[in-house]
Amino acid sequence: MIKDKQGTSSHNLFNIKADNRWEGEHIQKDTLEFELGAMIKKSAPFRAYQSLDESFNDYVSFLTNNDRYQDALENSGNVERFFRVYRKQAMRPIHNMPTK
């Protein structure tokens, strides 16, 4: 679990980044990003929560309100298929995503 510089937990169970849509607290953390065919070390903001419950509820909201994961959610009755589709979508670069 991501911790701040003082060792305090962010309660971010799912390592969701804090992009420009996120209005809550965040923790800056080094991460590896795949860009232009290479792994690059970067510092990125990750969401921070007050509790594990808040983290879990935000994750459910993140999935259900994100077009990127709708194909996976359509397979929620089949755990193996759900995770196969979820992983494929989660690893897909944002710039390759179709726009609506």
Q: What is the DSSP letter of 22?
A: -
Annotated catalytic residue within 19, 25, 33, 67:
33
pLDDT band at 99 (very low <50, low <70, confident <90, very high): very low
User: What pLDDT sits at residue 93?
Assistant: 61
Active site residue 33: yes
Annotated catalytic residue within 25, 30, 54, 58:
58
Active site residue 80: no
Question: Is residue 44 classed as helix, strand or coil in its secondary structure?
Answer: strand
Tens of pLDDT, residues 7-63:
999 999 999 999 898 999 999 999 998 888 889 999 999 999 999 999 999 999 998
pLDDT band at 76 (very low <50, low <70, confident <90, very high): confident
For residue 46, list its beta bridge partners. Answer: 17, 27
Alpha helices in 27-78 (DSSP H): 52-64, 70-73
Mean pLDDT of the chain: 87
pTM, full prediction: 0.76
